[in-house]
Homo-oligomer: A and B are copies of this chain.
Amino acid sequence: MSTPPTGPAAGPQRRGRGRRPAHEVRADVLRAAGALLLGGGLTALTFDRVARESGVSRTTLHKWWPSVGSLALDGYFHTVEDTLAFPDTDDLRADITTQLRHFVELMTTTPAGRLLTELIGRSQTDPDLAAEYRRLYSSARRQLATDRFRRAQEAGQIRPGIDVRVLVDQLWGAVYHRLLIPDEPVDEAFADALVDNLFDGVVQTP
């Protein structure tokens, strides 16, 4: 089977998938992969099933995604992009709280939590997967969060000296910590406490 051309889309009379632009084919694949992952977790995702669901050949899939892990990460990132989008109102605290609650809900009420902890787990002894995890998922998610905080910092809402990259570890990283080592619950109260501690500070002021 030939690879999808990158030129303009064929007219409506062309129904063959091979003629559609690459970005549309890619979107179909990522959607199919994401749906399988959120339906059944990592074990539900195989090249065969994605090929069947998306109508894209295995050859094409293997060419664009070297491993099932890379397909999972890419599909997952695009599938949760809207759910995890940062609101951008004037109320930074409300925006972060809203996003963090969505993140906690996604991690605890869908197979997403299990999927990510399993990929993070495997990546501890699989350097290729670790590199793919950072390239296709974590570094882009970090960037979206730091972008939101940098805008807040430029607007004078976050103190100038704060390294906003550290906030990512103290909010979403703290959630991952409880997901990976489940000594304590991951719930909305936890999400709210994470935000409160950083926004209000924890020390008693005289």
Give the B-binding residues of A (Cβ under 8 A). Answer: 92-93, 117-118, 120-125, 130, 133-134, 138-139, 142, 156-160, 162-163, 165-167, 169-170, 172-178, 180-184, 190, 193-194, 197-204
Q: Is the CB of B134 within 8 A of A124?
A: no
Q: Is the CB of A178 within 8 A of B173?
A: yes
Q: Is the CB of A198 within 8 A of B199?
A: no
8 interchain pairs, CB-CB under 8 A: A117-B124, A118-B125, A121-B122, A138-B181, A162-B197, A170-B194, A174-B174, A199-B203
- 3 A-B pairs with least C-beta separation: A121-B124, A173-B177, A201-B201
* Known contacts A124-B180, A139-B183; A203 and B157 CB within 8 A of each other: yes
Of all chain B residues, the one with the shortest Cβ separation from A199 is: B203
Contacts of A166 in B (CB 8 A): 174, 190, 193-194, 197
Contacts of A118 in B (CB 8 A): 124-125
Of all chain B residues, the one with the shortest Cβ separation from A143 is: B183
Q: Is the CB of A198 within 8 A of B204?
A: no
Separation of A173 and B92 alpha carbons in the complex (Å): 24
* Known contacts A121-B120, A157-B203, A158-B203; A170 and B180 CB within 8 A of each other: no
Contacts of A175 in B (CB 8 A): 169
What is the minimal beta-carbon distance from A139 to any residue of chain B, in angstroms?
A: 5
Contacts of A193 in B (CB 8 A): 162-163, 166
Separation of A123 and B173 alpha carbons in the complex (Å): 18
* Known contacts A118-B124, A157-B203; A134 and B170 CB within 8 A of each other: no
What is the minimal beta-carbon distance from A153 to any residue of chain B, in angstroms?
A: 9
Given contacts A166-B193, A169-B178, 17 further A-B contacts (CB under 8 A): A92-B203, A121-B121, A124-B180, A134-B182, A138-B183, A162-B193, A166-B194, A167-B202, A169-B194, A170-B170, A170-B198, A173-B176, A176-B180, A180-B180, A198-B201, A198-B202, A201-B201
